[in-house]
């Protein structure tokens, strides 16, 4: 591992830290201070882009406004409604000016002091911070493991990779992800479509400084549905496999019934034809639905053009009260 002195020898780059925000107020100033101290140690330029995902707590936007007004390297963006964490991060990425983009949450469970560990591996397209010991609840750990498995199956994610909130990507990856037109983007799906050059580095995982996570069971369920329905053809493929299996079983059973009826005269009058029709129609119907879902999913993905997020307001040194919609 490189020393801090070695990190200061890296050619000066601009790093953009992007942070989705929802309902928090008490950590933003501390987050900025710790980030500023970290980048001073490694002698690198940086900026911070915070996106308020239409928080119900009005003090959240006030807090971001104050931070953007106080510091010239902070940009605060407010979305018109709640779009979710993925679109909020993509929105922040679209405003980023850095050569490298770093994503993290604002709860300080990911330590800004671990960012140099990611920078050491920045020759790769993406560097992900892997927690050595998670401070999550048992329920969140279970759902996180399920999500990781779904990512692997549905997105063909590399086996060694387990995505976390703290990661670094180069500007080329970010631009490629932003160029993909999807009204319901799923961050991991876009990332693994663009690149497979992803490495992991061990980082710390701290307890939340204030409050509790807003990312509850229903939000995670919505995230799963976004992945399975809008960003992969996993469900239609599973349905198609089930349909194929049912169709095959139906065919075998139907042949067996016909064989018994013809050669052994076994059966209730009318039952043979009824069961054959029911089995064949059931199998072919499920198979047809799976195929139809596959086609509709691809057509839907290629024709829909609704924006993944809408910006209400931007506060920074350069832009004031911009009503631009993206």
Q: Tens place of pLDDT for every residue, the chain, 326 residues?
A: 444 444 544 567 899 999 999 999 889 999 999 999 999 999 999 999 999 999 999 999 999 999 999 999 999 999 999 988 889 999 999 999 999 999 999 988 899 999 999 999 999 999 999 887 654 456 555 655 666 666 566 666 666 777 788 999 999 999 999 998 877 788 888 898 899 899 999 998 766 555 565 555 566 666 666 666 665 666 677 777 777 777 777 777 777 777 776 666 655 566 666 766 776 677 667 767 776 776 676 666 666 677 889 999 999 866 544 433 34
> What's the confidence (pLDDT) of residue 188?
85
Residues facing 47 on adjacent strands: 16
Q: Answer yes or no: do 167 and 240 share one domain.
A: no
Q: Answer yes or no: do 150 and 245 share one domain.
A: no
> What's the confidence (pLDDT) of residue 185?
81
- 205 part of a folded domain: yes
- 320 part of a folded domain: no
> What's the confidence (pLDDT) of residue 253?
72
Domain count of the fold of the chain: 2
- 138 part of a folded domain: yes
CA distance 127 to 120: 9
The DSSP output letter for 325 is -
> What's the confidence (pLDDT) of residue 187?
86
- 162 CB neighbour count, 10 Å cutoff: 17
> What's the confidence (pLDDT) of residue 210?
58
Please check whether residue 195 is in contact with residue 170, taking contact to mean a CB–CB distance below 8 angstroms. Answer: no
> What's the confidence (pLDDT) of residue 295?
65
> What's the confidence (pLDDT) of residue 146?
61
> What's the confidence (pLDDT) of residue 321?
41
Q: Answer yes or no: do 156 and 109 share one domain.
A: yes
CA distance 145 to 203: 18
Q: Which of 179, 212, 232 is the last residue of a domain?
A: 232
Q: Which of 232, 259, 285 is the last residue of a domain?
A: 232
Tell me the H-state helices in 180-304: 187-194, 217-225, 234-263, 271-303
DSSP 217-242: HHHHHHHHHIIIIIS--HHHHHHHHH
How big is the chain by its Cα radius of gyration, in Å?
25
What is the extent of the structural domain holding 244? 234-303
CA distance 27 to 24: 7
> In which element (H, E) is residue 100 found?
strand 100-103
> What's the confidence (pLDDT) of residue 142?
61
Q: Answer yes or no: do 168 and 126 share one domain.
A: yes
Give Cα 183 distance to the centre of its chain.
Answer: 14
> How many residues in the chain?
326
Q: What is the CATH number of the domain that holds 92?
A: 3.90.550.10
Q: Answer yes or no: do 186 and 260 share one domain.
A: no
Q: Answer yes or no: do 285 and 189 share one domain.
A: no
CA distance 212 to 22: 12
- 58 part of a folded domain: yes
pTM of the model: 0.71
- 321 CB neighbour count, 10 Å cutoff: 8
The DSSP output letter for 137 is -
- Dihedral angle computed from the Cα positions of residues 282, 288, 292 and 293, in that order, rounded to the nearest 10 degrees: 50
């Amino acid at each position: 591992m490189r020393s801090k002195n070695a990190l200061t020898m890296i050619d000066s780059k601009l790093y953009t830290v992007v942070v989705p925000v929802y309902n928090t107020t008490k950590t933003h100033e501390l987050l900025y201070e710790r980030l500023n101290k970290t980048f001073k140690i490694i002698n690198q330029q940086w900026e911070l882009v915070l996106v308020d995902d239409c928080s119900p707590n009005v003090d959240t936007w006030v807090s971001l406004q104050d931070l953007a007004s106080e510091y010239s390297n902070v940009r605060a963006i407010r979305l018109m409604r709640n779009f979710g964490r993925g679109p909020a991060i993509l929105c922040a990425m679209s405003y980023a000016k850095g050569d490298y983009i770093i994503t993290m949450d604002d709860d300080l469970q990911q330590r800004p002091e671990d960012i140099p560990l990611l920078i050491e591996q920045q020759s790769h397209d993406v560097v992900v911070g892997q927690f050595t010991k998670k401070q999550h609840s048992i329920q969140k750990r279970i759902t996180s493991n399920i999500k990781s498995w779904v990512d692997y199956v549905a997105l063909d994610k590399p086996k060694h990779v387990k995505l976390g909130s703290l990661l670094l990507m180069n500007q080329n990856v970010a631009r490629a992800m932003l160029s993909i037109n999807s009204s319901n983007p799923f961050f991991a799906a876009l990332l693994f479509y663009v690149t497979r050059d992803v490495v992991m580095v061990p980082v710390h995982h701290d307890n939340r400084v204030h409050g509790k996570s807003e990312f509850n069971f229903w939000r995670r369920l919505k995230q799963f549905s976004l992945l399975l329905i809008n960003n992969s053809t996993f469900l239609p493929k599973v349905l198609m496999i089930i349909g194929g299996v049912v169709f095959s079983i139906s065919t075998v059973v139907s042949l067996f019934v016909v064989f018994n009826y013809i050669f052994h005269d076994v059966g209730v009058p009318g039952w043979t034809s009824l069961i054959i029709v029911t089995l064949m129609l059931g199998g072919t119907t499920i198979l047809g639905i799976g195929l139809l879902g596959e086609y509709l999913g691809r057509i839907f993905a290629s024709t829909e053009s609704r924006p993944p997020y809408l910006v209400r307001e931007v506060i920074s040194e350069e832009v004031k009260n911009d009503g631009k919609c993206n």
